[in-house]
Structure 1
Amino acid sequence: MTDHGHGHDHSRDHGRHERDHDHHHGGRTAWWHRLTHAAVPHSHDSRAKVDPALESSRQGLRALWLSLVGLGITALAQAVIVVLSGSVALLGDTLHNVADALTAVPLGIAFLVGRRAATRAYTYGYGRAEDLAGIIIVAVIAASAVAAAGTAVVRLLHPAEVTHLPWVAAAGLVGFLGNELVAQYRIRVGRRIGSAALVADGLHARTDGYTSLAVLAAAGGAALGWRWADPVVGVVIAVAITFVLRDAAREVYRRLMDAVDPDLVDQAESALRAVDGVQDVAAVRLRWIGHRLHAEAELVVDAKLSLLAAHEIAADAEHQLTHAVPRLATATVHTDPDSHPGGHHHTALSHRRRAPSR
């Protein structure tokens, strides 16, 4: 049996990757390659793993800070109109936009912390900081929902006239445009670098944009003399924020519970089964740590193979896995002989080796 652990970042050009491995098939003979490959753990150039990770963090940080500025300007403009008009619906939307802007802070810190190298204590690195930031984001969204709902209820109990209605309507439109631009930018960058947290934050901003459109309805109702329209729309916005809260909390929960898209598992299994020499795939496990994936696989191979041959199959399997699964940072591949497939044989094998000889 062979344990085979590898780390590989596939975000660099495949051609460059092949050039890095030309020595496997070029000037050196095959026997020299096999000998050195067995003696030295298979690993790609550390720069090929670190540089793309740092670059993805830079792109994520850039997206966060630019969207923070955009949403900050939007919220500031809306806040001025809130003070002049007294619109509760616009206040709720402004609070939501402020909360959305502030989510850039914990996410930005998480990206910075996640760039730190792994240590003896944190052997998987600090990518989980993104999940912790997700918890903070959920808390901020919850606080904005409570504030918006509380203000709307007070206004329902104590109605007040809303003034500067054209400006209120304009502020709602500005809120929609600002959020939609930020949403498109965050989602695009998040998908490019593989950050689910950034994509979720972009979807959150898009939902904020639609709640901003509700402010137009509040302004229209107030223009018709319906004093109740503004606080009612404020309650509707608070309910909309609650739905966003539910979705955000579900995403954070799934990350904390190491949930992945089943399609990714199917891709990994298909790639492993296609590797020459693999008889079966006993298990595949994937987990997100920050915006990078990590994989573990158990393969079944011919029991008559030499240790070197089994190792070469594991090396090939790891290589193919990193090409098949996007944003896979590391893969650990374990091979079992077909005479003892599966982890349930390991305890018996250990006891047999340690049993006193007779």
Structure 2
Amino acid sequence: MPTHDHSHSHSHSHSHSHGHSHSPGHSHDQGISSARGSAFRWSVLLNSGLSGLQIVIGLGFGSLALISDAIHNLGDVAGLLLAWGAERLSDRPASGRFTYGFGRSTQLAALINATLILMAAAVVIVEGLQRLRDPQPISSTPVIWAAAAGILVNLFSARLFGHDHGQNLNRKAAVVHLLTDAAVSAAVLVSAVLVSCTGWSWIDPMTAVGVGLAVAWSGLGLMREAVLVNLDGVPRPIELDLVRQTLQELPGVETAHHVHIWAMSTSRTALTAHLRCRNNGVSDTALLAQARERLAELGIDHSTLELEWMKPGEPPPA
């Protein structure tokens, strides 16, 4: 977690109040952990079976595009297992050594997941380019059926995660994998139909290269997000300037400084800040309650605030 500089000096004596807030959202996350586990379990089983089927048919009937889909599916299985393990770990309570708990494991899993996507894409692109030099004939019908199975399995697996995955980078990574795979299977199906109709064998490796490029693009986007949260960047879509402005609009608050925002996990966001305040009759408790409410509206569910009360007649801070 980020370190915060509390060693700054004040030219005047101030009274300090500290406020800590936690939103109940985490207990809700724990409440749906069994549903998440079921989604991961079925997705792993279905994608493992699908990968085996596609590899056998791809090798047996000469389709590099189908083999590339199978390789990406295997990457999905590894990624889903990583994400599943990280979710289980993130539900564990904080300990004396890990005082924030294990929420960061989901961020680490998202980063590894993105790396796996990019590696799989590189393999597919290289193989596709090599095959383009010497296209091989393929048997289209088995490839079409295997690709159709890939579309159905991946769309069904993505649906298992429900509609709340967008709030959690770890689950979002899993769903991105699955939806990308559905699109990949659709491309493989179309290419197999075209090869069957035209006899142009080069369409298959060309499709494999296109699949690899699409997979790499989705992997880069996920990598950017994962690196952001692992380096304690302000999580999207939270805007630092808006948070600072919101705090400074609270009654009696002159300035908000030492504002730090970071992700405790892929679904929980924390903030620490110092608020320089002028006494206008608002109590510490009321001010902190208002701050907590405003921050929750911005998606920040864990806040630590230090109130620095200015002396009567003290000029506003520069």
Contact 2:252 2:279 in 1 (8 A): no
2:13 is equivalent to residue 2 of structure 1: no
Kindly report which structure 2 residues correspond to 1:67-86, keeping only aligned pairs within 5 A, or say none.
Answer: 67-86=43-62
Residue 6 to residue 60, structure 1, CA distance change in 2 (3 Å)? farther
SS of match in other structure, 1:218 = helix
> Unaligned 5+ residue runs, structure 2?
1-14
Separation (CA, whole Å) in 2 of partners of 1:108 and 1:78: 24
Indicate which of 208, 215, 225 corresponds to 1:251: 225
Q: Which has the larger radius of gyration?
A: 1
Q: State which drifts further: 55-64 or 91-100.
A: 55-64
For 2:173, the aligned partner's letter is A
Separation (CA, whole Å) in 2 of partners of 1:79 and 1:66: 20
Contact 2:274 2:305 in 1 (8 A): yes
Indicate which of 306, 324, 330 corresponds to 2:302: 330
Shift of 1:252: 1.0
Residue 317 to residue 135, structure 1, CA distance change in 2 (3 Å)? same
Q: 1:70-105 deviations in whole A, cap 9, x for unaligned? A: 323333332332233120011101111221122111
Shift of 1:281: 3.4
Indicate which of 198, 201, 210 corresponds to 1:236: 210
Residue 185 to residue 160, structure 1, CA distance change in 2 (3 Å)? same
Contact 2:253 2:277 in 1 (8 A): yes
2:261 is equivalent to residue 286 of structure 1: yes
> Unaligned 5+ residue runs, structure 1?
12-48, 345-358
2:125 is equivalent to residue 149 of structure 1: yes
For 1:172, the aligned partner's letter is A
For 2:22, the aligned partner's letter is H
Contact 1:89 1:231 in 2 (8 A): yes
For 2:111, the aligned partner's letter is I
TM-score, length-normalised on structure 2? 0.81
Identity %: 23
More helix per residue: 1 or 2? 1
Residue 269 to residue 228, structure 1, CA distance change in 2 (3 Å)? same
Residue 340 to residue 176, structure 1, CA distance change in 2 (3 Å)? farther
Counterpart in 2 of 1:203? 176
Contact 2:66 2:147 in 1 (8 A): yes
Aligned residues: 298
Q: State which drifts further: 311-320 or 231-240.
A: 311-320
Residue 311 to residue 56, structure 1, CA distance change in 2 (3 Å)? farther
Shift of 1:172: 1.8
For 1:97, the aligned partner's letter is N
2:273 is equivalent to residue 297 of structure 1: yes
Counterpart in 2 of 1:132? 108
Contact 2:148 2:185 in 1 (8 A): yes
2:84 is equivalent to residue 108 of structure 1: yes
Contact 1:271 1:320 in 2 (8 A): no
SS of match in other structure, 1:236 = helix
Separation (CA, whole Å) in 1 of partners of 2:254 and 2:83: 43
SS of match in other structure, 2:307 = strand
Separation (CA, whole Å) in 2 of partners of 1:72 and 1:3: 55
For 1:281, the aligned partner's letter is A
SS of match in other structure, 1:126 = coil
Counterpart in 1 of 2:4? none
Separation (CA, whole Å) in 2 of partners of 1:272 and 1:70: 48
RMSD over aligned CA atoms reads 2.9
SS of match in other structure, 1:4 = strand
Contact 2:252 2:280 in 1 (8 A): no
Counterpart in 2 of 1:182? 157
Separation (CA, whole Å) in 2 of partners of 1:167 and 1:182: 23
SS of match in other structure, 1:188 = coil
Q: 1:95-153 deviations in whole A, cap 9, x for unaligned? A: 11221122111111111221222233322221111121122212221231233223323
Counterpart in 2 of 1:41? none
SS of match in other structure, 1:316 = helix
